[in-house]
Chain A
């Protein structure tokens, strides 16, 4: 107000113009309002009514946008409230019937009606007239305002000032029945909505968007009416179904307006309780079918479904049996999709998602419903083009359709039983198929679902075939992120640990099924997937052997050997598949593992074969010296751990081992040869094999090798010393005390160099020897 007046004519922006109009009108209201209050204070009611009428005259403007108009309405509203309070206090000494007439003398319809409503509400409150009569009269008279914005606000005013005066169940019958209130509100709702819809047609079509926005700003004025209905105690389920809903729906359908239908359906679902919707599902859904093109029916139905699904979850007992929620929704959704050929595919799919959620929340164990939803979806997708289906928005929904059963059933076996599940995956693009397959895998792992039947394994691996084998539409291997790929394959590989059965015959069949699937995976995949299969097979036969030993399973030796051979063949062929793709170190180690297992299972005949295969890999495919050392160490320790009763086989292997060790670099050679001493001294529960002479020979040979090295390493000397001490500690008699003493002396005199990193090792060993007080060893 302190703004200095510009001297030049300014062109105001629409916002500034609105602000200006608003300020002017508001100031007028304030001035008239002030006079009104003064008159009331002085007991001059008639003057006050005149000023009140002047206030409302400002609301007759057509200059304001709905939003600005609302601001002005609020200012006026406050004054009318003040008047309302005054009238109720009855200081004016007038009968309400007189005032009710007096205000109707106003020449203009808008002030007349605002005042009439104001007086009317007091009239009800003072109980000088039955509420029902006053309400009926007010609602009838309000027809006089046909201007959309002014009418909307007038009717909102009517609704606001009567809201606490509506006859409800506790109202004495002479004042009115709840039915009077229902009729009143519904009429106000209907008229309000008609005005709201009419707003749309008032603007030139170029202003359509602005007009739509303005309308949306006013939508609450219409929706409030439905909230009022919901607030009436007397609107119980029966009244709602028989009286309220049919009338509301009639108006929604008849108004033929996209925005109104959308909003009103949403608000209807929102304001009334779930129980009511449950009882009237058919009407609501069939209404959805009759809405205008362009109404987002999907959102409406989805919100209803989601609400009822949550309701059913919370109150599983209170959902009446006779209401077949799923069937009603399913049939209606099907019908609506048929009726609306232009419905977006993503919306159709969205409805399916909601349906699926609904059935799984309401009927968590019912597979048939879920399968039906997926089936309907499948049928619809069959009629659509691939490029529509693979749109991101549609894909997202299909993925959800596939995820929901996984989350709901928490059991991949149940999901695999849905006959329409797998076909839905097939219509997706490669990456999405892969994603869904991974979801299936993850769900299986997270829920630790044990799969016991070979057919189920088969079905699972077929379902996730995108992960299991190459597919026509997959990208080039070079374009695939190696880490992601490895992670995916590791997940798939993990599944094998969930394939299990108490029945050995079945379990082996499972492994065969898995092998046949994974075998198609190609070199990048089998590297991950076959290894667990090998370990599981090893575990399998070990367990079987245990059961035979414990007499849980009765097999004679021939039978056992036959089974052993089958599994051996399975395992060794599987390892060979890895060896064939030059995973040398891996397959070497797997052969060693297999050796241990078959040794444990008294299938000695297989050991030579496996050892031979391992050594062959060692010789031909492990080139790196370090790797050779590591491999040979493992070979020695493996041999040491075996129970081989056949001395001939064992000794052949021992000789071969030493021969291989001798091919290594001097340092490694020396260390390895000293380790080879363990080939001649085996002392564990399964085997006793003691060849003192060879032990000492090996140690001496090791010492000889390292001593001839050009730069002999202290560390290797101490290693040999410690190996020697092993035999002393074990009281073998293989290593004489003299040998230890001489060796210590040799190291001390020859190789004990300042700053050698192995010095601590040496000193620790000396300290150890000293602490043991071996007889004959004095260092």
Chain B
């Protein structure tokens, strides 16, 4: 939002209303300056229809305008490239021809068939927004503009191919492990099940952990910005194993604030997720192996009866889970 926004001192106020929102989910989104805003969540190509009311302020007798329009915009904002907003979708509805607005007026709008191929995203260096914008054009003075954001998510189809990840890594004559994650693609409420086999251990391991890392890449070509964020460090082993031990991995993804993996969204940015398996020895030396996993958003959740989440075909229950995660960091090792 521009500091010099013409909201201030505007002669009127606006009230956007969206249809079918009594039971609609909302999402808290942190905007600039830490301000949070509750947005309605739209799934895929759900129609966005509603009304916007324009109320004239008390002193305002009339507003002369060059026309009133409402738009539905999908745009990508790159923070390093402020001002350059890439609108990847935009639909305009004229509400009124040029004239005078003399009384409070309510307009309806209907964007039933707008394609919303990307999900809303609020990242470190990039933001993907969908919003409805009302513009009262003026011939002198700046236009009166008001935007109203919605949040869009897209359910993905379950991946057809979903192989497990299996890999043998090691340092010659020092450490040799084989790790296995049950899938390469996880939905956002999924559980990562895995196992670490120790084939050779000649170092004194203190502990082993899995870090879930999110990497946001913006830009393209030589001007790519990568921003990595460690979402969690999850200790999976305490102490030093011997040859032949296998250590289980079970990581519940539902706890974390995750998005699906985004690849080259409108060629502007990508968001990828990685599992970083790290072994720390008694001298705090770290041995690690990073492996990308693909996240996707699952449409329909089926509650699971399995207590163990042990098999990769079973699915996780969707539960509102407060996250106690009382002791998630032990940063001394970093």
Q: CB within 8 Å of B: which residues of A?
A: 46, 49-50, 53-54, 57, 60, 97-98, 100-112, 123, 129, 133-134, 136-137, 140-141, 143-148, 150-151, 194, 198
Contact = CB atoms under 8 A, between A and B. Distances in A.
Contacts of A107: 232-235, 325-330
A134 B307 contact: yes
B329 A144 contact: no
Contacts of A50: 324, 326
Interface stretch (B37-45, B108-116, B213-221, B244-252): B244-252
A148 B233 contact: no
Contacts of B248: 140-141, 143-144
B326 A146 contact: no
Given A101-B252, A137-B308, A144-B247, A53 B327 contact: yes
Given A101-B252, A137-B310, A46 B324 contact: yes
B275 to A, nearest CB: 15
B284 to A, nearest CB: 14
B326 A60 contact: no
Contacts of B330: 107-108
Interface centre among B207, B245, B317 (most CB of A within 10 A): B207
Contacts of A129: 307
A53 B317 CA distance: 24
Nearest to B232: A107
Nearest to A48: B324
Contact of B239 (A101, A141, A145): A145
B245 A148 contact: no
Interface string B301-334: 0000001111000000101011111111110000
Interface in B88-137: none
A105 B237 contact: no
B38 to A, nearest CB: 24
Contacts of A101: 252, 309, 319, 321
A195 to B, nearest CB: 9
B63 interface: no
A144 B323 contact: no
Contacts of B308: 133, 136-137
Interface string B278-298: 000000000000000000000
Contact of A106 (B240, B309, B319, B326): B326
B236 interface: yes
B242 interface: yes
A58 to B, nearest CB: 12
A110 B237 CA distance: 9
A704 B31 CA distance: 156
A105 B245 contact: no
Q: Which of A46, A57, A101, A148 has the most CB of B within 10 A?
A: A101
Contact residues of A: prevailing secondary structure: helix
B96 to A, nearest CB: 53
A190 to B, nearest CB: 12
A143 B245 contact: yes
Contacts of B329: 107
B255 interface: yes
B326 A54 contact: yes
Contacts of B323: 105
B238 interface: yes
A144 B236 CA distance: 6
B201 to A, nearest CB: 10
A50 B325 CA distance: 8
A129 B239 CA distance: 31
Given A97-B317, A107-B232, A144 B238 contact: yes
Contact of A60 (B233, B238, B246, B250): B238
B170 interface: no
A146 B237 contact: yes
Contacts of A133: 307-308
Pick the most buried of A112, A143, A145: most chain B CB atoms within 10 A of its CB: A143
B241 interface: yes
Contact of B238 (A98, A104, A105, A110): A110
A53 B278 CA distance: 23
B200 to A, nearest CB: 15
Contacts of B238: 60, 108-110, 144-147, 150-151
Contacts of A145: 237-239
A141 to B, nearest CB: 6
B189 to A, nearest CB: 11
A44 to B, nearest CB: 11
Chain B: number of interface residues, binned into ranges: 35 or more
Given A106-B324, A106-B325, A97 B307 contact: yes
B242 A108 contact: no
Contacts of B307: 97, 100, 123, 129, 133-134, 137
B196 to A, nearest CB: 10
A49 B239 CA distance: 24
Contacts of A111: 326-327
A146 B196 CA distance: 13
B58 to A, nearest CB: 49
Given A105-B323, A106-B328, A137-B310, 17 more contacts: A46-B322, A53-B326, A54-B327, A97-B307, A97-B317, A101-B319, A101-B321, A105-B325, A107-B235, A107-B325, A140-B248, A143-B247, A144-B238, A145-B237, A145-B239, A146-B238, A147-B240
Nearest to B244: A194
Residue of A53, A137, A144, A194 with most chain B CB atoms under a 10 A cut-off: A144
A468 B6 CA distance: 132
B258 to A, nearest CB: 14
B232 A104 contact: no
Nearest to A141: B248
Contact of B235 (A103, A105, A109): A109
A146 B208 CA distance: 10
Contact of B324 (A57, A97, A105, A198): A105
A687 to B, nearest CB: 104
A46 B233 CA distance: 21
20 contacts: A49-B324, A53-B326, A60-B238, A100-B307, A105-B252, A105-B323, A106-B327, A107-B232, A107-B233, A107-B328, A107-B329, A108-B330, A140-B248, A141-B248, A141-B250, A143-B245, A143-B248, A146-B237, A146-B247, A147-B239
Contacts of A137: 307-308, 310
Nearest to A133: B307
Contact of B255 (A46, A105, A123): A105
Contacts of A98: 319, 321
Contacts of A102: 321-322, 324
Contacts of A46: 322, 324
B241 to A, nearest CB: 4
Nearest to B322: A46
Most B CB atoms within 10 A — which of A46, A105, A198?
A: A105
Nearest to B256: A105
Nearest to A128: B307
Contacts of B242: 194, 198
Contact of A143 (B235, B246, B252, B317): B246
A147 B204 CA distance: 11
Contact of B237 (A103, A106, A109, A134): A109
Nearest to A150: B238
B240 to A, nearest CB: 6
Interface string B244-277: 0111101010010000000000000000000000
A49 B326 contact: yes
Nearest to B330: A108
A141 B237 CA distance: 10
Contacts of B245: 143, 146
Q: Which of A46, A60, A108, A112 has the most CB of B within 10 A?
A: A108
A525 to B, nearest CB: 70
B252 A148 contact: no
Contacts of B241: 146
A463 B309 CA distance: 78
A104 B310 CA distance: 13
Interface in B182-234: 207, 232-234
A382 to B, nearest CB: 46
